[in-house]
């Protein structure tokens, strides 16, 4: 089987308080997303958000509908965002090909039937990271190059949180139903992302950490602001953040991550910030 998937259910914050390390990791951590010649998908019941990884090597890989969708094709009722974190690759959507270089993205609207992924080089493949959410209408497909993104600088070296945030799939760049995606890169010497931390009860979120050196790690914090937990994460791993949870991390080196969100609104700035000195 070239397409593999698993399902994650939603949990109440009251229940999550009692999870031990392995239960916390089983419920929220997503490992082994990027495997050669495979499409790996995780279907979360938080906003029915799908997190995926596609690594085409010897042949093209086709995105098939998975059983939980009970759909004739994957995008029958969904939209899709793809960011290539590997080498040059191509995504073909109903016969139209989009070449995605490293850190380029593609938005694919509801209703597109045949989505295929390929790499220019089998030995240096594309690494397609994907997020997909239910969609109520069909918006045009759009490639988002590195020059199309909205870039903001956040944090400062003094607070170890200097970082560059790039908005790829937001409604000021591309028409979308509910999906938002972007990428944040820590500046050398800074370790903290998303600090001050925030929650947004209106949206869930998934973070995918990459560019984490092999022998380094990111400690990701989740949970209600006064009841936090942590998960140690390695390169190319993702973590599901429920709407009631903070999502913030500190790395033992600089790193990047892709954030993806879905839910009640498309307002990137709709966040309830937490006072750093009140976190528990
Ligand atoms: O570094 C940051 O801050 C982020 O990247 C925050 C995410 O974009 C986010 O959590 C949006 O809700
Ligand atoms: Zn957030």
**Full residue range of the structural domain in which residue 10 is found:** 3-278
What ipTM, to 2 d.p.? 0.99
> Any idea what the CATH number is for the domain that residue 132 is in?
2.60.120.10
Best residue among 165, 200, 241, 265 to mutate for probing ligand 1's pocket (most ligand atoms within 8 Å of CB) is 165
**Would you place residue 77 in the very low, low, confident or very high pLDDT band (cuts 50, 70, 90)?**
very high
Distinct helix (H) and strand (E) counts, the chain: 2, 24
pLDDT value at residue 237: 98
Position 1 pLDDT exceeds 80: no
Q: Which of 167, 119, 146 shows the shortest CA–CA distance to 267?
A: 167
What is the overall mean pLDDT for the chain?
Answer: 98
pLDDT value at residue 192: 98
pLDDT value at residue 130: 98
pLDDT value at residue 50: 99
Distance 205 CA to ligand 2 centre (A): 6
Q: Residue 11's CB: how many other CB atoms inside 10 A? A: 18
Count of domains in the chain? 1
CA distances from residue 237 to 70, 97, 107, 217 in whole angstroms, order as listed: 27, 28, 22, 10
Order of all β-strands in the sheet with 180-186: 29-30, 237-241, 203-210, 256-263, 180-186, 163-169, 150-154
pLDDT value at residue 270: 98
Q: What angle do CA 266, 267, 272 make, to 5 degrees?
A: 130
Nearest CA residue ID for atom 7, ligand 1: 259
């Amino acid at each position: 089987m070239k397409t593999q998937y698993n399902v994650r259910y939603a949990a109440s914050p009251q229940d999550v308080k009692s999870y031990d390390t392995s239960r916390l990791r089983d419920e929220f951590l997503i490992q082994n997303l990027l495997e050669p010649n495979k499409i790996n998908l995780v279907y979360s019941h938080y906003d029915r958000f799908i997190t995926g990884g596609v690594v085409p090597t010897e042949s093209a890989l086709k995105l098939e509908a998975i059983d939980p969708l009970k759909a004739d094709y994957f995008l029958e009722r969904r939209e899709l965002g793809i960011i290539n974190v590997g080498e040059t690759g191509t995504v073909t959507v109903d016969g139209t090909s989009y070449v995605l270089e490293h850190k380029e993205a593609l938005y694919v609207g509801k209703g597109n039937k045949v989505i295929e992924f390929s790499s220019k080089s089998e030995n240096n493949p594309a690494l397609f990271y994907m997020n997909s959410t239910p969609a109520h209408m069909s918006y045009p497909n759009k490639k988002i190059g590195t020059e199309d993104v909205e870039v903001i600088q956040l944090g400062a070296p003094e607070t170890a949180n200097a970082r560059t945030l790039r908005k790829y799939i937001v409604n000021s760049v591309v028409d979308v139903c509910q999906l938002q995606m972007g990428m944040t890169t820590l500046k050398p010497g800074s370790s903290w992302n998303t600090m001050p931390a925030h929650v947004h009860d209106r949206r869930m979120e998934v973070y995918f950490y990459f560019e984490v050196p092999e022998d380094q790690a990111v400690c990701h914090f989740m949970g209600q602001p006064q009841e936090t937990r942590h998960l140690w994460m390695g390169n190319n791993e993702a973590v599901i953040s429920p709407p009631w949870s903070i999502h913030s991390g500190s790395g033992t080196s600089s790193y990047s991550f892709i954030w993806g969100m879905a839910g009640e609104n498309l307002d990137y700035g709709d966040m309830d910030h937490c006072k750093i000195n009140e976190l528990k």
